[in-house]
C-alpha cells in the first residue's frame, strides 16, 4: 500500500481517473458525514491502507479529509468569490470550503477544522466575533497558499488590535504538509506575532534542527 507522501506526490497533478477518484471520496465524505464516513472504504478507494492513515494522522481524520480536499481544489483550480452582503449561512459554508482548500488555519476565534469539532457547534462563536467574520472574508477573497493566508491573518490581527484592545488577536496556526522551507518561514512570522503552533510536515528531519531557535523565542510548538 502507498504512503501518504507518495499519494500526495502522485496526485499533485491528477489525471482524469484520479480526479474522478478524489471526487468520489469527497462525495462519500459529504454523504456519510465528515465524522462518520467509512474510512476503510475511502482508504481503499484512494489505494492506501487504513493503518497508514492512522499512522500519519492519528485520530485526526479531519486532517486526512483536508488533504483530499486540498488536492481536489488545487486540481480543479477553483476560486471562491464572495459578496460582502453574503448571507451568513452561505458565508460559513464557503468558509469551511476555504479552510479545506488551504492548510493553515488561524485566529483564536476560529477553531481548527482538523480538531474534529462539529461544524455547527462553532458557527455561533464564529459569527459573534467581528474579527472572525473579517478573517473569513480575507481568507476567501483570493486564492492563496498557506503562508500567504497566514500573513493575511497576521496583518488583519494587527489592524484589529488597533481598533479594539478588547479583541484577543493572538494567532493559533496549524501548519499541515508544508515543505521544510515553508514551515520555517511560517514559524519566523509566528515567533513575532503568535505563541502556539502545531506542525505536520513530510520533512521532519529538515525542520527539527531549526525548532530550537523558535523555542528559545517562546513559541510553543
Render pLDDT for 150-173 as a digit per residue (tens, 0 to 9).
Answer: 454 445 444 444 433 333 333 334
Domain-wise residue ranges, the chain:
4-76, 88-216
Between CA 94 and CA 180 the distance in angstroms is 29
Question: What pLDDT, on the 0 to 100 scale, is given for residue 20?
Answer: 72
The 3-state DSSP class for residue 202 equals: coil
Between CA 217 and CA 221 the distance in angstroms is 11
- Report, at the CATH architecture level, how domain 4-76 is classified: Orthogonal Bundle (1.10)
Between CA 131 and CA 213 the distance in angstroms is 31
Determine the average pLDDT of the residues in 1-9.
55
Per-residue pLDDT of 53-72, as tens digits, reads 665 554 445 445 555 555 55
Amino acid at each position: 500500500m502507498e504512503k501518504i507522501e507518495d499519494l500526495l506526490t502522485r496526485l499533485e497533478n491528477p489525471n482524469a481517473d484520479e480526479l474522478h477518484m478524489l471526487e468520489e471520496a469527497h462525495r462519500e465524505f459529504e454523504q456519510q458525514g465528515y465524522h462518520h464516513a467509512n474510512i476503510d472504504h475511502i482508504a481503499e478507494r484512494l489505494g492506501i491502507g487504513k493503518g497508514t492513515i492512522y499512522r500519519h494522522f492519528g485520530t485526526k481524520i479531519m486532517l486526512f479529509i483536508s488533504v483530499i480536499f486540498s488536492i481536489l481544489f488545487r486540481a480543479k483550480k477553483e476560486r471562491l468569490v464572495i459578496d460582502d452582503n453574503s448571507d451568513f449561512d452561505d458565508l460559513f459554508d464557503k468558509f469551511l470550503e476555504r479552510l479545506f482548500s488551504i492548510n493553515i488555519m488561524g485566529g483564536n476565534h476560529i477553531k481548527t477544522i482538523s480538531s474534529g469539532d462539529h461544524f455547527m457547534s462553532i458557527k455561533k462563536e464564529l459569527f459573534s466575533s467581528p474579527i472572525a467574520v473579517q478573517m473569513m472574508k480575507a481568507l476567501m477573497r483570493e486564492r492563496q497558499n498557506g503562508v500567504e493566508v497566514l500573513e493575511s491573518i497576521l496583518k488583519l490581527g494587527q489592524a484589529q488590535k488597533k481598533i479594539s484592545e478588547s479583541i484577543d488577536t493572538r494567532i493559533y496556526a496549524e501548519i499541515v504538509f508544508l515543505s521544510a522551507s515553508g514551515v520555517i518561514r511560517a514559524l519566523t512570522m509566528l515567533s513575532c506575532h503568535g505563541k502556539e503552533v502545531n506542525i505536520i510536515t513530510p520533512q521532519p528531519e529538515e525542520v527539527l534542527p531549526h525548532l530550537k531557535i523558535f523555542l528559545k523565542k517562546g513559541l510553543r510548538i
